[in-house]
Structure 1
Amino acid sequence: YHRADGGVGTANYWLVIPMVFCENRNVEVLKSALLKALGYQTTRDYVVDTEALVKQYKNGATAKELLDSSLIRTPEEIKQNRTFPNVDGIKFLTHEGGCGGFRLDSESLCSLLAGYVTNPNVAGATILSLGCQNAEVRNLTEGIKQRDPNFSKPLYILEQQKSASERHFIEEAVKKTFLGLIEANKTERSPAPLNHLVLGLECGGSDGFSGISANPALGYASDLLVALGATTMLSEFPELNGVEQELINRCVSEPVAHKFAHLMNTYSATAVALGSAFANNPSPGNIKDGLITDAMKSAGAAKKGGTSPITEVLDYTEKTTKKGLNLLCTPGNDVESTTGLAGSGCNIIAFTTGLGTPTGNPVAPVLKISSNNALSEKMKDIIDFNTGTIITGEDTIETMGAALLDYIIEVASGKKIPAAVRLGQDDFIPWKRGISL
């Protein structure tokens, strides 16, 4: 999906975003009003078309005719029967921020939301504002302008405190969203070179195999993409603790290296000041499966970034501007990290796991990569790609990395739908910069 700013989306979504948690209830009203009516309310790979029975019954169908009816609709039929077949979905980004707490958190939230609105996978957005919150609309629009000075996507901003009533507010939001969807539906998927991919590199629920199968295979795929002129993005700074020097040595310039060191040191010092530390990052599941220390976990996690030079280091919510391998400062928390990756411009995310996790993202397709055969069999409903054959000796990191790249391209091209997308796993948690590990 080619955008006016030169970006290319791997999907085509419309967003409904509250500026503050006070608007979450109104977002839920919009959700119930729009999804089913427009053909998006399903988290399965098929739907049962009960309405077809109702229509036949009203038209006088016999019992035999009702029993002979076909009610199951395939994914392709579901898409074609949508009011807007070129729009992959309407995503609702409810959150618990926008007011109270530190002003910095509200400003950071606005910057993150601006990143989502300008993400190439997004066609446009409806913004619901109460009117008096810390997360001011002007901060959002300024953030959008900074990322895209010639921003031209449909954007509807509604303020409840200026509306005649809640009913009028909801009615206007539904109407404007519908108009936006008409425009979004005019954009169709068309070919694009691989250098338009911005691949997020994520891991979660890691095990003792992650660092020797899934992560290095993803790192090899990342290196191939970088060689083809694309962008890849490695996040989760607490999980880079212990491998800083190796990453600093790969930075293309001293300013890039200094920025990475500064962000790592500042984050670490904040954690210590609040009574924690990067050493506390490994979860009980990590430890039980062999990742006893943060250094051991980091040594494996960093392999997702392959061996490419690091061209850019980004603070949380900063937009990627340089091709090649980027580092993005986020927590190790899976959802906070994937939320940040999409906010910085990723149009697809590859997520390795050894223990299994159902994490997804509202706008960037998240494909799950298993580090071992047992997980791939046990949780086949959420795993998309298995690298366990590296452990059993049937594949090498190189052969599996090349196969993984092929799979990533198929997902980006809309030929395969990851489990997280099919199951509606739209996790969205903004990072409150106080501290999160």
Structure 2
Amino acid sequence: MQQRVLKVHPSDNVIVALTDLKKGEVITFEGVDYELVDDIAAKHKFLTEDRAVGEHITMYGVLVGKAKQAIPRGGLMHTFNTTHASDDFGLGTRKLDWHKPDTGRFEGRSFMGYPRQDGSVGTANYWIVLPMVFCETRNLEVMREALVDSLGYAKSQVWKDQTDQLVSLYKAGKSVAEILEADVAVETTTGTSSRLFPNIDGVKFLNHEMGCGGTRSDAQALCGLLAGYVTHPNVAGATVLSLGCQNAQVSILQEEIAKRDPNFSKPLLVFEQQEIGSEEKLISEAIKQTFAGLIEANKLERQPAPLSKLVIGLECGGSDGFSGISANPAIGHTSDILVALGGTVILAEFPELCGVEQELSDRCVDEPTALRFNSLMKTYNSRAEAVGSGFYMNPSPGNIKDGLITDAIKSAGAAKKGGTSPVVDVLDYPERVTKPGLNLVCTPGNDVESTTAEVASGATVVLFTTGLGTPTGNPVTPVIKLSTNTKLYNKMNDIIDINCGSIIDGNETIEHAGERILEYVIQVASGEVQPHSVRLGQDDFIPWKRGVSL
């Protein structure tokens, strides 16, 4: 029989409903009876004791809110009676002991990746085309039209086929009602067009709306982000289109590349329009030289690499009340296994670490690392508060509807993605990770901005948990989607790869799910399995314009 409720931490004074509970029901948990005074929808919480105005509400063992009106024992916790609250934090003592998971199943295992000269190993092999400024967007699109279809990287024409059928019905004189009722179903396969270059996974175009018109620090950050992609293990080479007069100069990009890889040796093809002259000549030369670069890049082949060469980004989006008790701790266990094997994981989304700062600060390997984390968190929140916001405003309407009532609840659950290992480094956007182990990278909570940044920091695979469903992907790194609940997986299994709702259903432990996830990661990293984000071409890419984005 499925468990109906769950208390996450012994010190919590809330209990999570795993199924819908009705007002008047008596719920027995650990020998104590609780009579519900409200309906409690699945994913939401009820109080285990009366709370007066201002009294603390705890979950995951930390302060997550205060009562803003009296809440009775057995009453629903929601935005009308609870306000965000979290404990302050500072420089504490080092807490570096952790219980390493059993890694026996994965000892000596490898994946088939692309070795790079800097010692990193890619899980894919892409060529990227990027503009230094938004003025080059049209030229980028012309190159995309010229290269993608001809090289065999076009996605399915299924929706074009459907539109063609609708056009035929319209031309045949059918009414709107007849068109809407017509059966225009088409095959939803992605096609099997043959690639000209079988060892190249694609040519990706990193469009953006930055490069000029902002501050010089915006341009510097953009160049750092783009350098992260140019030097990325999943990238074989890059074509750069520059106008010439923009703030984001090619020279800055080259400086940022050198910071990340002093011995950089990948092909970097730069075309500056104001120097070359005609648009026709610019595009023609860019296409020809890119094609020549692809010929060389196609000579690379996958080779065995130890799991310690994996760099996994941890992300969540469209979170719900089950995120922190199913999918997030499951990939937290995956993270711990990988760290124990000598691999690297990246935990980002700093607005979603609000309330657990002290725990993460104390897990930093030394005081300078802890101080940097504390400083980045406080500075980021202060900037948000200066324009009338703050980390407490991070939960979205969808988060709240599905049980994440305060930012501290959302954050405490989100932090579970990072597992329990020590924090070896703290990085600011868009720095690159250099140390194996758990790294914290300052990014917004925005799904696409954060995923874009994690990849720039070196993530070669991204694990992305969701409770509500989201189609986020990335141009060069496979993004694996994991659902927090079985209902979502069954409803949206065309975009979600792994179901962690089995934990909520009582059919699987967190530890077993974590191992199952790592097995899937190995398959994806070896090119044996293509996650839905890659299959569907979900190439989301949004640089963070440093400012207030939660």
**Residues 135-146 of structure 1 correspond to what in structure 2 (within 5 A)?**
135-146=248-259
Residue 259 of structure 1 contacts residue 313 of structure 1 at CA under 8 Å; is this kept in 2? Answer: yes
Residue 155 of structure 2 contacts residue 191 of structure 2 at CA under 8 Å; is this kept in 1? Answer: no
Select which of 186, 198, 219 maps to 1:106: 219
Which secondary structure does the structure 2 equivalent of 1:124 belong to?
Answer: strand
1:14 — aligned with what? 127
Select which of 78, 90, 93 maps to 2:206: 93
Query: 2:138 aligned with 1:25, yes or no?
Result: yes
**Residues 395-410 of structure 1 correspond to what in structure 2 (within 5 A)?**
395-410=508-523
**Residues 294-313 of structure 1 correspond to what in structure 2 (within 5 A)?**
294-313=407-426
Q: Which amino acid aligns with 1:424?
A: G
**Residues 34-53 of structure 1 correspond to what in structure 2 (within 5 A)?**
34-43=147-156
Distance 1:205 1:121 in 2: 27
2:429 — aligned with what? 316
Select which of 218, 239, 243 maps to 2:352: 239
The TM-score with structure 1 as length reference comes to: 0.92
Query: 2:494 aligned with 1:391, yes or no?
Result: no
> Using a 3 Å threshold, how does the CA distance of structure 1 residues 217 and 112 change in structure 2: closer, same or farther?
same
Q: What do residues 128-174 of structure 1 show as CA deviations (whole Å, max 9, x unaligned)?
A: 00000000100000111111111110110000001131100110010
Select which of 239, 242, 250 maps to 2:363: 250
Higher helix residue share: 1
Q: What do residues 60-97 of structure 1 show as CA deviations (whole Å, max 9, x unaligned)?
A: xxxxxxxxxxxx9998953xx21111000000000000
Q: What do residues 98-148 of structure 1 show as CA deviations (whole Å, max 9, x unaligned)?
A: 000111111100000000000000000000000000001000001111111
Distance 1:74 1:238 in 2: 39
Distance 1:355 1:76 in 2: 29
> Using a 3 Å threshold, how does the CA distance of structure 1 residues 167 and 359 change in structure 2: closer, same or farther?
same
Q: Which amino acid aligns with 1:326?
A: N
| Higher RCO (C-alpha 8 Å, min separation 6) | 1
Which secondary structure does the structure 2 equivalent of 1:192 belong to?
Answer: strand
Distance 2:417 2:246 in 1: 39
Deviation at 1:43, TM superposition (A): 4.9
Select which of 262, 268, 293 maps to 2:375: 262
Deviation at 1:179, TM superposition (A): 0.9
Query: 2:289 aligned with 1:181, yes or no?
Result: no
> Using a 3 Å threshold, how does the CA distance of structure 1 residues 279 and 391 change in structure 2: closer, same or farther?
same
Q: Which amino acid aligns with 1:120?
A: P
Give the total of aligned pairs.
412
Select which of 342, 359, 363 maps to 2:476: 363
Distance 1:135 1:242 in 2: 37
Higher Cα radius of gyration = 2
1:426 — aligned with what? 539
Which secondary structure does the structure 2 equivalent of 1:127 belong to?
Answer: strand
**Residues 165-180 of structure 1 correspond to what in structure 2 (within 5 A)?**
165-180=278-293
Distance 1:196 1:75 in 2: 31
Which secondary structure does the structure 1 equivalent of 2:136 belong to?
Answer: helix
Residue 44 of structure 1 contacts residue 422 of structure 1 at CA under 8 Å; is this kept in 2? Answer: no
**Residues 175-254 of structure 1 correspond to what in structure 2 (within 5 A)?**
175-254=288-367
Residue 503 of structure 2 contacts residue 510 of structure 2 at CA under 8 Å; is this kept in 1? Answer: yes
Q: What do residues 353-410 of structure 1 show as CA deviations (whole Å, max 9, x unaligned)?
A: 0000000001110000000000000001000000101001110101111111111111
Q: What do residues 254-287 of structure 1 show as CA deviations (whole Å, max 9, x unaligned)?
A: 1110110010011011101111110110000000
> Using a 3 Å threshold, how does the CA distance of structure 1 residues 278 and 73 change in structure 2: closer, same or farther?
closer
Residue 220 of structure 1 contacts residue 397 of structure 1 at CA under 8 Å; is this kept in 2? Answer: yes
Residue 117 of structure 1 contacts residue 125 of structure 1 at CA under 8 Å; is this kept in 2? Answer: yes
Which secondary structure does the structure 1 equivalent of 2:529 belong to?
Answer: coil
Which secondary structure does the structure 1 equivalent of 2:482 belong to?
Answer: strand
Distance 2:443 2:400 in 1: 22
Residue 196 of structure 1 contacts residue 230 of structure 1 at CA under 8 Å; is this kept in 2? Answer: yes
Distance 1:337 1:248 in 2: 21
2:165 — aligned with what? none
Q: Which amino acid aligns with 1:354?
A: G
Q: What do residues 172-199 of structure 1 show as CA deviations (whole Å, max 9, x unaligned)?
A: 0100110110111011111110011000
The TM-score with structure 2 as length reference comes to: 0.73
2:116 — aligned with what? 3
Higher strand residue share: 2
Q: Which amino acid aligns with 1:133?
A: Q
2:489 — aligned with what? 376
Residue 156 of structure 2 contacts residue 190 of structure 2 at CA under 8 Å; is this kept in 1? Answer: no
CA RMSD of aligned residues (A): 1.7
Structure 1 segments of 4+ aligned residues over 4 angstroms from their partners: 72-77
> Using a 3 Å threshold, how does the CA distance of structure 1 residues 42 and 375 change in structure 2: closer, same or farther?
same
- Stretches of structure 2 that go unaligned for 5 or more consecutive residues are 1-113, 162-186
Q: Which amino acid aligns with 1:432?
A: K
Which secondary structure does the structure 2 equivalent of 1:225 belong to?
Answer: helix
Residue 155 of structure 2 contacts residue 190 of structure 2 at CA under 8 Å; is this kept in 1? Answer: no
Which secondary structure does the structure 2 equivalent of 1:332 belong to?
Answer: coil
* % identical aligned pairs: 66
